[in-house]
Amino acid sequence: MQGGSKPCLFLCDDGRYYVVKSRSNPQHVRVLANEMLAARVAQLIGLPVAEPAFVEITNEWEPRAEAGGVGVKGAGFAAGLHFGSRYPGNPEDTLVTDILPDPLLRRVRNFREAFWGAFLFDKWTCNCDVRQFVFYHSAMEKGSPYSACLIDNGFCFNDGDWSFPDAILLNFYSRRWVYEGVCGLQSFEPFLTRIENLRSSEVDACLQGIPPEWCGSEPGELSRLAEALYARRQGLSQAIIDVKNSAQRPFPNWR
């Protein structure tokens, strides 16, 4: 699969496909912890995010694919737990793409939840990467709108730093016109209220089962990360207003 972490597509023994990132990925081992925590929190507030999973590989496996006749090696997978992101269907009968032309992008079924909800989420979690989506629909539904799904959340929490630096103009999708319909804080509902009303126990529950080896040399930092994330929720409205007031005016129709 595409991406700097060199993920691979696996058919797992539950009969489903997962895009799997290895503990030995070339980015950072904490990418796996970030992916699991971010996806679970996104689910908690109702965003359309790919279902996260622990994928156990029982024997060491080294992927090798052919691209244009040249062997291309991916990240190796040692025996143990790796991060899996549920693929949206069966590759044989589901059309999946990471880019759409503007006319199709405007017709995405869950446009508001995906683009505006994801912006709010990325601001809260300090995603230091450009927002990534996949768009999908059944191959049997020719001409039907695509649905959007948030993927690639490994750079939330400022990548492996697990910090929240102030960066007003991060977190946008590459095509800024998707934010033209934002007209105020109400455009980010119900997700803004859901984040502000979260209980600390709900955020803590999102840490369940994350292996210490996914956390680098200081696994105890994971709990502190969750505490900091929970504390940030009450400043989120002001953070969005600060973005609105920035020189680049990313929300031109805010009233």
User: Structure tokens of 194?
Assistant: 């859901």
Is the omega angle on the peptide bond into residue 190 within 30 degrees of 0, that is, cis? Answer: yes
Q: Whole-angstrom Cα distance, residue 39 to residue 33?
A: 10
Tokens 């508001």: give the residue. 112
Confidence of residue 71 (pLDDT cuts 50, 70, 90): very low
Q: What digits encode the pLDDT tens for the residues 150-160?
A: 999 999 999 99
Residues 6+ apart with CB under 8 A from 128: 155, 158, 159, 167, 170
- The whole model's pTM is what? 0.93
Amino acid identity at 220 = G
Helix (H) or strand (E) holding 57: strand 52-57
What letter would DSSP give residue 112? Answer: I
Q: What digits encode the pLDDT tens for the residues 17-61?
A: 999 999 999 899 999 999 999 999 999 999 999 999 999 999 888
Q: Whole-angstrom Cα distance, residue 198 to residue 171?
A: 22
